[in-house]
Homo-oligomer: A and B are copies of this chain.
């Protein structure tokens, strides 16, 4: 209320300074080509001198666009936020791509239950032109509600149940199958898995990949479930070993859980990979630094982010986009298997 030294210049100010009309200045600001070069030049000079910057609120009011995109991270995402490199990587990818398009990134960390309504309010109020929704548990109703509200939406990860909005995902199952083939090729016969949460598609599909891979072996599955975090991997590995001490191979559905498994194995005197071979999933930076370095299924985290951004931008422009984009994964062989 007191910090307006001389009042910010408006279109009107610039117009007067350049001896033109508001409309013409607006044309120059928005890059219209139908302005006489010399007039455009003098307007540009006036803009520079006055330090004029368009007021986005006024612009939004008439264009009905805000040039900003929301990235929504549900509670399940924020919980692992500080320990997992997945979401920071996605955020970075989305952020970079949006910056290139000169759009703003509005981050909505849905930490609590009440956030749901808040998100819908934002979206209904057209605070953002589009929404990127990251990884949700179970049958989240949010994507559908957003779609119903008429807002462009893209989700990261195929939703459980029917996909009603476009999504970006990776080849979970085939990546895991490659990992399984690698273990089998190593001569492993008693292969267990530490699965992810089964109310998340990533958890389910990685388990499916394990089961598919096991079929070739004709061996019985050996599954313990974790929550993608390290501690759960440690615990699951212990349960696994209690159920079958002869396990010689483990696929863990996340690098963090694989690292947990590595620790438990070491503690219980198993050598990796000699006694037990371990493969993870994600290929986060830290995977290169586990002991031993982790063989893992690489997924292109950064690219997931950039592709999410690309798709939402196209949707916002009214273009059609593929119902789904599924990015490849690949096995990165290090020393744990």
Contact = CB atoms under 8 A, between A and B. Distances in A.
Contact of A105 (B107, B150, B284, B291): B107
B53 A121 contact: yes
A259 interface: yes
Contact of A96 (B55, B83, B111): B111
B124 A95 contact: no
A54 B81 CA distance: 32
B259 A54 contact: no
A85 to B, nearest CB: 5
A124 B4 CA distance: 12
A150 B83 contact: no
Interface stretch (A18-26, A57-65, A137-145): A57-65
A83 B127 contact: no
Given A53-B124, A82-B284, A4 B105 contact: no
Interface stretch (A86-94, A168-176, A241-249): A86-94
Number of copies: 2
A150 B109 contact: no
B3 A150 contact: yes
A83 B150 CA distance: 37
Q: Which of the listed residues A57, A122, A150 has the most CB atoms from chain B within 10 Å of its own CB?
A: A57
Contact of A125 (B56, B121, B230): B56
A324 interface: no
B83 A95 contact: no
B55 A125 contact: yes
Contacts of A124: 8, 51, 53
A32 interface: no
B56 A127 contact: yes
A109 B105 contact: yes
A81 B92 contact: yes
Nearest to A121: B53
B109 A106 contact: no
Interface string A99-129: 1001011111101000100100110111100
B95 A109 contact: yes
Given A95-B111, A96-B109, A318 B87 contact: no
Nearest to A151: B3
A5 B91 contact: no
A158 interface: no
Interface in A264-308: 266, 284-286, 289, 291, 301
A42 interface: no
A22 to B, nearest CB: 16
A212 interface: no
Contacts of A206: none
B150 A5 contact: yes
Question: Which 9 A-B residue pairs are closest in the complex by CB-CB distance?
Answer: A57-B60, A95-B109, A53-B124, A3-B150, A53-B125, A83-B285, A82-B85, A57-B61, A107-B107
13 contacts: A2-B318, A55-B61, A71-B107, A82-B85, A83-B286, A91-B107, A95-B107, A96-B111, A99-B118, A105-B107, A106-B107, A263-B289, A291-B291
Given A5-B150, A91-B109, A106-B106, 18 more contacts: A3-B150, A53-B121, A54-B125, A55-B125, A61-B61, A68-B106, A78-B92, A82-B89, A82-B285, A82-B301, A83-B285, A95-B111, A96-B109, A102-B118, A105-B108, A106-B107, A263-B291, A266-B291
